[in-house]
Structure 1
């Protein structure tokens, strides 16, 4: 057992100042209890906060493909990403892997290789799999079902990023995105999109079977970019637990009314708005429609976001921190193990030397009671 003394601890019920806690076998024990211990570490007045849980992040793609057409070895890319996560204070990370109809970075083959590597290697950060399945990706569907059967997936979201030909705005946005991931001419992209339109019909039928598998194996389900009452109602009928990036207030309200967690990107909050013109995280938070924040495409923003919320006078740091720790744990059904500093929970925590909201205030990161990062 190790006892940590002279620290300020953020618990579910608020701060405990100038206190102590212990860890044993990777779990918290004796929080704010004066007990004897031979192995003592003095935190010298520093702040101890729950580790950050990121249930939607894909910044690892830039480690794998830093430029269009440039692909780096998977092993070195994942190890690089693992270090990035720790420096941002993230202790539990859901690799949000896109299972798409695209080739290359977001292909089924790349998803397969990533899953195999992540699940068979010991990474510093607790690493789980979030599959972002694209409706129009219909080939080798049984392989996706097998991943669920084998317990390789911890979170499943249903995505439909294939633009319809009549939607000029979404069509152009998708073209811009695919150019960042792949080397294709304008004509090749247009032919590619056109050839996939009928796959959505097949994919919609497959989705129902996929959802039944998720329910059978207790995999939490997320919707993505719901932008109409019809889509929200479909999500509700499917038993969705998390609404990723509801596109407007009306959709977010409908999700909240059905006790579905609403998730927004931390970069959205830090930047001051959505980069695609959707409902902003700040506007959602102002009216009580923001439950969870995720890194989306920028890990450091997640650490910075609770301090930003406090500075905007939306709520205090104690409550805001739950949006990156306890609430995401609740959304994926893991709050009995992680998400807060509490006796018998996994000892995942950060040690900060100040509460100024600067990334360099992180001095140590612990996961299951083991020091994984020291700065």
Structure 2
């Protein structure tokens, strides 16, 4: 049994200066400071204790697999590094977001194929610090999407950890890449010629016509029959949100416009915003500022997208910029994601919940992770 003393416990709707007792069976009791602490006592020196962070969408593995262009890292080493980066960022539940399809080559396909094997084997071996679950990002215009999906569908190791699926259409002219001129400029920066870009654009458009609707129907049918949470991705227009809602989709992930976010919220859909957008002070691709969505009361949860440490820092940005009080900001990275994913055993400092916990020291407004526990076991 471990007892944390001299802590500031961030509860769902309040901050309690007190002690917290837990073991590997879960949280026993958050309570006001007592004069006679028992068990293995750790003094938190007045730091905050928050629930373990739950990240519904992280592409961080891709950054470890390809730390430089044309420098693919051994996949298992990359996964271990990814896990460590998540843990030291206070992320105790990681939804590894692997892409089914790649409209710009095969890099993401190889990352997916290697990643699902590493995820299954390393999790079974008990060598990972955080708990890893699976989020399938389905590129609907990709010809190979269904074939890749079936690799997970037919793998008994992966079925129990498949908890979230999202529908993506990264075609130029829609969603995140609505500005085709901006998209073309990005491809030029990748080293493509104008002729190569034209050929790629025509191929993408043809694939969109041929594959998008049948892939969408396939994924929707699977999620409905297997009770897996399904999200839309990069919605821009009300028409897109309304169609998703009519199809039973209840999560809007990374809406790229205020219009789409407002529409989703009005339809009681959960809205996930990008934490890096908040830390950077805006979207890296020219879309809606996530802090504006926060201030409008439209966001249910944050996700790291591509920087695990952005989760905690974004929550404190919300506090520092007076957009939210601390308990509300912390709920965006703990209780909110837990509810969306149906994880009823975590996300709160509450008796009976899993002892996924993070000790956070704040220096000049910047949160610094001091200790992390997953299931009552210290991992950082």
Fold similarity call, TM over 0.5: yes
CA gap of 1:118–1:229, structure 2 versus 1, over 3 A, is same
Rounded to whole Å, the distance in 2 between the matches of 1:302 and 1:77 is 21
Matches within 5 A, 1:115-130: 115-121=116-122, 122-130=127-135
Aligned pair 1:197/2:205, yes or no? yes
Rounded to whole Å, the distance in 2 between the matches of 1:137 and 1:70 is 25
Map of 1:341 onto structure 2: 349
Rounded to whole Å, the distance in 1 between the matches of 2:43 and 2:19 is 9
CA gap of 1:292–1:140, structure 2 versus 1, over 3 A, is closer
Map of 1:48 onto structure 2: 49
Rounded to whole Å, the distance in 2 between the matches of 1:53 and 1:332 is 10
Rounded to whole Å, the distance in 2 between the matches of 1:179 and 1:338 is 45
3-state secondary structure, aligned to 1:77: helix
Map of 2:144 onto structure 1: 139
Rounded to whole Å, the distance in 2 between the matches of 1:258 and 1:177 is 34
Aligned pair 1:368/2:369, yes or no? no
3-state secondary structure, aligned to 1:207: helix
CA gap of 1:240–1:10, structure 2 versus 1, over 3 A, is same
Alignment equivalent of 1:255, drawn from 254, 258, 264: 264
Aligned pair 1:305/2:314, yes or no? yes
Map of 1:23 onto structure 2: 22
Q: Deviations over 1:261-293 (max 9, x none)?
A: 111111211222112222111211222122221
Please report the TM-score for the alignment, with normalisation by the length of structure 2.
0.88
3-state secondary structure, aligned to 2:260: helix
How far is 1:185 from its partner? 4.9
Rounded to whole Å, the distance in 2 between the matches of 1:243 and 1:80 is 29
Aligned pair 1:71/2:72, yes or no? yes
Rounded to whole Å, the distance in 1 between the matches of 2:352 and 2:363 is 26
Map of 1:10 onto structure 2: 10
How far is 1:40 from its partner? 3.2
Query: Which blocks of at least 5 consecutive residues in structure 2 are unaligned?
Result: none
Deviates most, 41-50 or 299-308: 41-50
Deviates most, 138-147 or 274-283: 138-147
Whether contact under 8 Å (1:130, 1:154) holds in the other structure is yes
How far is 1:363 from its partner? 1.0
Rounded to whole Å, the distance in 1 between the matches of 2:338 and 2:177 is 38
Q: Deviations over 1:308-354 (max 9, x none)?
A: 111221121111111111101111111x1111111111111111234
Query: Which blocks of at least 5 consecutive residues in structure 1 are unaligned?
Result: none
Pairwise CA RMSD of aligned residues?
Answer: 2.5
Deviates most, 247-256 or 321-330: 247-256
3-state secondary structure, aligned to 1:123: coil
Aligned pair 1:87/2:83, yes or no? no
Aligned pair 1:154/2:163, yes or no? yes
3-state secondary structure, aligned to 2:298: coil
Rounded to whole Å, the distance in 2 between the matches of 1:27 and 1:96 is 27
Whether contact under 8 Å (2:13, 2:328) holds in the other structure is no
Please report the TM-score for the alignment, with normalisation by the length of structure 1.
0.89
3-state secondary structure, aligned to 1:223: strand
Matches within 5 A, 1:309-324: 309-324=318-333
Whether contact under 8 Å (1:304, 1:357) holds in the other structure is no
Aligned pair 1:111/2:112, yes or no? yes
